[in-house]
Amino acid sequence: MTQEYRKTTEAIGRLTPQQYAVTQEAATEPAFRNEFWNNHDEGLYVDIVSGEPLFASVNKYDSRSGWPSFTVPVDPSNIVEKVDRTYGMVRTEVRSAHGDSHLGHLFDDGPAEAGGLRYCINSAALRFVPVADLEAEGYGDYKHLFEK
């Protein structure tokens, strides 16, 4: 199924102040006080602005950072990496390709057996779609990720 993912004025207008600050102004939400850091349900995490599929629960792990952490994106073409030199350090910023939302940062301290990467993502940049709702919400192509 082909879907067009993009940022719209309507989508931006529906964001909460926290979601706006994170996705549009590159803010960071508080650790351990965000919606998905401790979510263990199976499903797909999509961009809150564009709806593009970003991460799957099968690649989520407890990094003990207080933010949702993933080892890989579900579709690397939906992720853009940029150099971030703010706060006197050099990091890799992660943005959504179609929504241009700030998602978080990429670090090289993830689980070695899964490639060593940690996508440290703000919950405020994400919408969670449970496995049971994938088909109805247009993400049926991703159901295979959750088959055992």
Per-residue pLDDT, 75: 95
Measured between alpha carbons, how far is 100 from 105 in angstroms, rounded to an integer? 14
Q: Is the pLDDT of residue 3 over 80?
A: no
Q: Is the pLDDT of residue 17 over 90?
A: yes
Q: Which residue ranges make up each domain of the chain?
A: 9-137
- What average pLDDT does range 70-94 have in this prediction? 95
User: What residues act catalytically?
Assistant: 120
Name residue 42's beta-bridge partners.
none
How many other CB atoms sit within 10 Å of the CB of residue 25? 8
User: Residues 110, 48, 53, CA angle at the centre, nearest 5°?
Assistant: 60
CB-hemisphere CA count at 13 Å for 90? 1
CATH number for the region 9-137 comes to: 2.170.150.20
- Looking at every residue in the chain, the average pLDDT score rounds to 95
What are the pLDDT digits (tens) for 93-130?
999 999 999 999 999 999 999 999 999 999 999 999 99
